[in-house]
């Protein structure tokens, strides 16, 4: 099933990475598109952000641990709010498995329940060689932090593991995760006692939780929809004011930054300019066919500077001028109307 972008990450999470490592200073200078909690960035951009973050600290091996431990609900898209309104850790884990793509499509979260414990795994969907170990550690530490929103700051998993080799001291891992940590392991995972997962949380707000889940489900459907991004942009343009529409406007509707939108359209073999040109063509034809508006009134409605620009554009689209096209279509419509008014003589003469 085709997706909008093979591996995108919520801009809210990217902003959290910046804020956690720069005390918020870099967040103020982040791209304007990141201001929307629904904006998304390609994984390649987020990887470049991590390059910068780790580089600024001289290859700090603990940057991921600190970022994950400092994560806030709003940084995890709507998933953070679903977790906060969960009735138990088990329900929060189920939400993490289901809604993690809203935070990042660069990896998956799965849960495997055994007799006394549950293994919660994180696996990259991108080439693991393109992901810093600190990125994986931030995700695992973030899962532990999110669990503590429900279970309390003193809570800890039974154990944690990473597939990569440890490059620093073991002490920060034990201190932040609060459990034994293994490296060079088969999985990136935490192991949680089932009794911790199943302990009811009181109080919690089931109605608010249902609202968050309904919203998350809608966003998840949009993110994984089989409709191509180009088609979604076409549908948006069909109802948008074309006199000032830009990729940032369309991007807000499909939850992508303008840069990501342009790149994803290019991967689908089209572009913002081509889709906008096609929308102007469709709307011009509709206005010529259904209204008597003069060309100098139609031009601004389709985002063109004036009647001369409209004539040039329409001649390129249709091979005829707008006037000729309108005359042809209105003539056909007129014939149709006349035919509908003509008496039907196929039944023979009426009573005499």
CA dist 155 and 193 (Å) reads: 11
E runs forming strands in the chain: 8-10, 40-42, 107-113, 117-124, 159-161, 181-182, 188-193
Whole-angstrom Cα distance, residue 301 to residue 6? 35
pLDDT at 64: 94
Whole-Å CA distances, 199 to 80, 88, 196, 313: 20, 6, 5, 66
Confidence at residue 36, expressed as pLDDT on a 0 to 100 scale:
60
What is the phi/psi pair of residue 244, to 5°? -145, 15
Q: What angle do CA 135, 42, 138 make, to 5 degrees?
A: 15
Q: Are 58 and 50 in contact (CB under 8 A)?
A: no
Please report the pLDDT score of residue 53 as a whole number. Answer: 85
* H or E stretch covering 344: none
How many residues can be counted in the chain? Answer: 352
Among 78, 66, 69, which Cα is nearest to 12's? 78
Q: Please list the pLDDT of the chain residue by residue as tens digits (352 residues).
A: 233 345 789 989 998 888 765 544 444 444 444 556 568 888 888 888 898 888 765 578 999 999 999 999 989 989 999 999 999 999 999 999 999 999 998 899 999 999 999 999 999 988 878 899 999 999 999 999 999 999 999 999 999 999 999 988 999 999 999 999 999 999 999 999 999 999 998 778 899 999 999 999 999 888 876 567 888 888 889 888 898 889 988 887 777 888 888 988 988 889 999 999 999 999 999 999 999 999 999 999 999 999 999 999 999 999 999 999 998 876 554 444 443 334 333 333 333 3
pTM (2 decimals)? 0.65
């Amino acid at each position: 099933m085709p997706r909008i972008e093979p591996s995108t990450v919520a801009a809210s999470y990217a902003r959290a990475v910046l804020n956690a490592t720069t005390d918020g200073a870099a967040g103020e200078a982040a791209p304007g598109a990141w201001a929307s909690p629904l904006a998304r960035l390609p994984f390649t951009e987020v990887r470049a952000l991590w390059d910068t973050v780790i580089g600024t600290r001289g290859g700090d091996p603990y940057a991921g641990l600190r970022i994950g431990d400092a994560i806030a609900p709003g940084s995890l898209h709507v998933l953070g709010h679903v977790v906060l309104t969960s009735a138990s850790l088990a329900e929060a884990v189920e939400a993490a498995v289901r809604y993690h793509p809203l935070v990042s499509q660069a990896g998956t979260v799965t849960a495997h329940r055994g007799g006394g414990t549950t293994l919660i795994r994180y696996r990259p969907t991108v080439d693991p060689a393109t992901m810093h170990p600190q990125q994986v550690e931030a995700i695992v530490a973030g899962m532990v932090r999110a669990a503590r929103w429900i279970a309390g700051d003193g809570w800890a998993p039974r154990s944690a593991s990473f597939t990569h080799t440890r490059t620093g001291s073991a002490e920060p891992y034990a201190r932040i995760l609060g459990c034994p940590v293994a490296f060079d392991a088969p999985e990136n995972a935490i192991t949680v006692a089932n009794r911790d997962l199943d302990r009811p949380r009181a109080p919690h707000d089931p109605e608010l939780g249902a609202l968050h889940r309904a919203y998350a489900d809608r966003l998840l459907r949009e993110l994984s929809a089989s409709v191509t991004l180009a088609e979604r942009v076409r549908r948006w343009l069909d109802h948008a004011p074309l006199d000032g529409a830009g990729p940032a406007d369309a991007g807000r509707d499909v939850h992508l930054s303008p840069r990501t939108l342009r790149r994803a359209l290019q991967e689908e073999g089209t572009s913002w300019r081509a889709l906008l040109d096609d929308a102007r063509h469709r709307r011009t034809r509709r206005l010529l066919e259904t209204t008597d508006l003069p060309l100098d009134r139609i031009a601004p409605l389709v985002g063109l500077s004036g009647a001369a620009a409209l004539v040039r554009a329409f001649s390129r689209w249709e091979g005829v001028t707008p006037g000729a096209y309108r005359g042809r279509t209105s003539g056909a419509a007129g014939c149709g109307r006349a035919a509908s008014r003509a008496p039907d003589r196929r039944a023979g003469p009426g009573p005499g």
